[in-house]
Amino acid sequence: MDETTKKAFCRSARDCWDCMACIKACPAGALETRIPYQLGYYPARLIPKMGDKVIEWTCIDINGKVEKFIVKTHNK
């Protein structure tokens, strides 16, 4: 935990536990999650787009099929 911000951080990539907090927090949408090989091989990926009350998740499978999911958040 960072003592000044009181937030968790990863010192190295191997410390990542795939919580995707950094992916959702990126204001530029420059980050995306590559799906682990156990679930879907390259180039499968998951991309969030943050809204005020929802997150729109775009899932792209290994064949390029795109699905979108809208999930409500508890933001105020």
Tokens at 18, concatenated = 């795939």
- Calculate the alpha carbon distances from 29 to 3, 11, 46 in Å: 27, 22, 12
Closest CA to 60 of 28, 32, 20: 32
Average pLDDT in the chain = 79
pLDDT above 80 for 61: yes
Q: Return the exposure string of 29-39: e unless at least 16 CB atoms fall within 10 Å of the residue's CB, then b.
A: eeeebebeeee
How confident is the model at residue 50, as a pLDDT?
A: 83
Confidence band of 75 (pLDDT split at 50, 70, 90): low
Does pTM top 0.85 for this prediction? no
pLDDT in tens, 16-46: 776 777 777 777 777 777 777 777 778 888 8
